[in-house]
Structure 1
Amino acid sequence: MLAAALEMIDRDSVARLSMRRLGQELGRDPMALYRHAANKAALLDGVAEIVLAQLTVDTTDPDWRHQLRIVARDFRKLAVAHPNMVPLLVTHPLATPLGLRPLGTLRPLEHILDLLTHADFDNADALHIYRALFGFLYGHILNELQEIVECPEEATDLLRLGLHRLPIAEFPLLRDLAPALAAYDGAAELERGLDILIAGLGKTMTPAVMRPRRERRP
């Protein structure tokens, strides 16, 4: 049921998903679906969980920087593969207290905290690193997936992006950036941002190397 709901969201949108349409898709009485999901909100929570279940964190990786890069790349891949799910993965959770969110959506957070505390960061610093990473990542995803081309048939980047509408005396730098904006490469921009973010975290967030290391759970 959740897989079919995800397919419908990918094909159409979250707004067009309903228990009635999902029942038709599955060839089932829509009322029978309520035995598995109390309402559409619960159904969407379940879909978010199966998407985020694909985001794995190797908490045994001794190089926390390397592992955070892998997590960031994988999250971007999920978002690009399921762009209609982005509101459920990025913006919707922010309106829900942590304790009320589906457990599956919290597992990446728990696993990243596990990774970082085993790298000798204290709990508060591990949370700060997580927030910095995903704050950057959410902004990147929203920026990458937004439509920036106004008139694709135009001959120049300035016209294609609609930047010719900006007064040249007030926005000369932004207008000059038209070729760079038109050549946007989401994967490359992600790597540049991660370089800056992780280098900064490495300098400002110092593991508590003086305290005894935690033993790994079997």
Structure 2
Amino acid sequence: MAQQPEAGRRAPLNRERVLRAAIALADEGGVESLSMRKLAQELGVVPMALYKHVPNKERLLDGMVDTVVARIDFPASGSGWKDAVRGRVLSARRVLVRHRWAAQVIESRTGPTPAVLEYLDAMIGTFRDGGFSVDLTHHAMHAMGSRLLGFSQELFEGSGSADPNGGTDPNGAAETNDGAEALAEAGAAMAAKYPRIAELAAGVAHDAESVAGDRGCDDQFEFEFALDLLLDGLEKLHEQGWTSAGPPGSAAT
């Protein structure tokens, strides 16, 4: 009689399973904590077994990026160019909020990965199919930048540099009393030297749950505000027949 498969036997190792496990580890502990050895332990294999599917960590990161980007929703059928672009960008942002390490890894690549290239090609196609000239599409892609993939480079990359409280808890909680006093003094000095920055930092609130990556000043409202400004501006330029050969409002030839 043929022996029955053991209950609970692990699924065969393949590239998809390797990438899924790597993404789960990065989601849990950050991409900095991910290593081939740790990934092998998670999968219950020796590290050498991974190299049949990903030749090194850089290719592993490439595959993780492509897996995540492939999860971005396609636009609804029949959407106009503006709704299609907005919908895909906000879907991309939702994906990156779920995988907070992904923006950092996308930025670290020496060139776009295949899934990113496919995504950008589709975005260009959306503008072109919407009647945009090659010229305006070119400038639109530059203006949108990384926002197309759901994240953006912010002016202040952390709240500490612009925080008039010096990064302390607003209720007074701090690591130590001495540390709190030093931070408060530094914050007061910063506010005195740069009062407009301090005013701005003190006057806005940010939703930590909607931040993609580790930049404290990129919450969902700010992201959509800038996205809509860009799309509204592109819509006006498109309607005006804008061309880079002349000022806004000049007819394309």
Is the structural similarity TM-score above 0.5? yes
Q: CA deviation at 1:50?
A: 0.4
Pick from 131, 134, 147 the counterpart of residue 145 of structure 2.
134
- Residue correspondences, number: 197
Match of 2:190 in 1: 166
Aligned to 2:116: 105
135 and 10 in structure 1: CA distance in 2 versus 1, 3 angstrom threshold: closer
Check whether the contact 1:9–1:84 (CA below 8 A) recurs between aligned residues. Answer: yes
Q: CA 1:118/1:205 → structure 2, altered by over 3 Å: closer, same or farther? A: same
Picking from 27, 33, 47, the partner of 1:30 is: 47
Q: In the alignment, which residue of structure 1 is the partner of 2:32? A: 15
Could you list the structure 1 runs, at least 4 aligned residues long, displaced by more than 3 angstroms after superposition: 59-62, 135-147, 153-156, 205-208
- Name 2:133's counterpart in structure 1: 122
Structure having the higher Rg = 2
1:113–1:130: 8 Å Cα contact kept in structure 2? Answer: yes
**Corresponding residue of 1:215:** none
CA RMSD, 1 decimal: 2.9
Q: Any residues of structure 2 matched to 1:203-214 within 5 Å, and which?
A: 203-206=236-239
Q: 1:172 and 1:144 mapped to 2: Cα distance? A: 17
Where does residue 201 of structure 2 map in the other structure?
178
Q: Is the 8 A contact 2:96 2:150 kept in 1?
A: no
- CA offsets 1:159-180 (integer angstroms, 9 cap, x no match): 88x7423152x42222222333
Counterparts of 1:46 and 1:187, CA distance in 2: 27
| 1:83–1:145 Cα contact (<8 Å) kept | no
Q: TM-score, normalised by structure 2?
A: 0.67
- One-letter amino acid of the structure 2 residue matched with residue 69 of structure 1: R
- Which consecutive unaligned segments of at least 5 residues does structure 2 have? 1-17, 161-166, 174-182, 208-218, 242-253
Which residue matches 1:92?
108
Bigger mean CA offset, 21-30 vs 194-203: 194-203
State the secondary structure of the residue aligned to 1:79: helix
- TM-superposition CA deviations, 1:114-161 (whole Å, max 9, x none): 1111111133422322222234567954449954261125459xx88x
1:53 correspondence with 2:94: no
Task: Give the % identical residues.
Answer: 27
By relative contact order (CA 8 Å, sep 6+), the higher-ranking structure is 1
Higher helix share: 1
Q: Write the distance in 2 (CA, Å) between the matches of 1:139 and 1:180.
A: 25
Q: 1:109/1:59 Cα in 2 relative to 1: closer, same or farther (>3 Å)?
A: farther
Given the superposition, is the C-alpha separation of residues 148 and 133 from structure 1 closer, same or farther in structure 2, using an over 3 Å criterion?
same
